[in-house]
Amino acid sequence: MARIPNAGLTGRMIRHPFLVTGGTGKSGSRVVSRLKDKGVPVRVGSRSSDPPFDWTDRDTWDAALEGVEKVYLVPFDGELLTRPFVQRCEELGVKRVVLLSGRGVDVPGYAGENSGAGKTHIDGEDAVRTCRPEWTIIRPAWFAQNFSEGFFLDAVLSGELRLPAGDGAASFVDAEDIAAVVVAALTETGHTGQVYEVSGPRAVTMAGAVAEISQATGRTVRYMPVAPEDFVAELVAQGWSRGDAEDYADAVSPIRRGMDSHISDGVQRALGRPSRDFSDFVKRAAAAGTWQD
């Protein structure tokens, strides 16, 4: 008898692609890899993908969504585009949406009043909760990969990370864990209507984080806490717009105010295993040569 291919995932062959917006970013690229490993056809949605997808150009949305069954939605901070995009998903027959949001969206006073990301996530969560497709929301802590691929990388390489984070600590989540939760939510049953707040298993101060990186790499990296107004002035002097600089300072302020050190249980709830420790991330990134010149 001919061998029947193992449909895996949902017990059937998947023909319709999954769209991963932000598919070249920290969580999205890992979701793309994990879905491909499972044999799921994936369409990357970013400005550099084919077809190109640009949040700010609605004429690109339909091509990205054509024939798509499920979407991992990494939003565009600072604008309220998740709602119209989710509406378009609904109109074009998308069956499931997994939304990346942010920890603290439900905590009064967490984000600064002008936080662009906060507004995007609050409106985006509301849009997803009221849409027809099945939905899951992921609320991550600060990503560990900010030190290796994101906001903090240049500073780490320069040897000094200056931030208005005071002595605060954050329970950094590994983007690999975010991706694992997202892929579970996209490919398994039992995650619909769930909100997974995900973090690492312990809080790490900025000084502690760069000390671990220093120890793993042999580089000298130090953390220098700066006052929020000085931080904004420094970024403006480097050519940032005042709005973007204030947004960055706002985003960091929950760490300084002690609001980002708690441990969230979303990885355990979604995957039935503990989250990865920051040290594990540092060892992997160092072994991959991330912080070498």
Summarize as ranges the residues that interact with ligand NAP (CB under 6 A). Answer: 22-28, 46-48, 53-56, 74-77, 100, 102, 117, 140, 142-143, 146, 150
| Shortest reach from residue 40's CB to ligand NAP, in Å | 18
Residue 213 CB, nearest distance to ligand NAP (Å)? 16
Minimum CB separation of residue 95 from ligand NAP in Å reads 22
Q: 214, exposed or middle or buried, with CB in 10 Å at 0-12, 13-18, 19+? A: middle
Closest CB to ligand NAP belongs to which residue?
Answer: 25
Instruction: Decide: helix, strand or coil at residue 216.
Output: helix
Instruction: Kindly state the tokens that stand for 288.
Output: 């991959």
Minimum CB separation from ligand NAP for residue 273, in Å? 21
CB of 245 to ligand NAP, least distance (A): 16
**Closest to ligand NAP by CB, 56 or 220:** 56
Contact predicate 226/256, CB 8 Å: no
Decide whether 15 or 149 has the Cβ nearer to ligand NAP: 149
Helix (H, G, I), strand (E, B) or coil at 5: coil
User: In 188-291, where does DSSP find H-type helix?
Assistant: 206-217, 228-237, 242-256, 266-271, 278-287
Q: How far apart are CA 185 and CA 182, in angstroms?
A: 5
**In the chain, what is the straight-line distance between the N-terminal and C-terminal CA atoms, in Å?**
57
Instruction: State how far the Cα of 99 lies from the Cα of 71, in Å rounded to an integer.
Output: 8
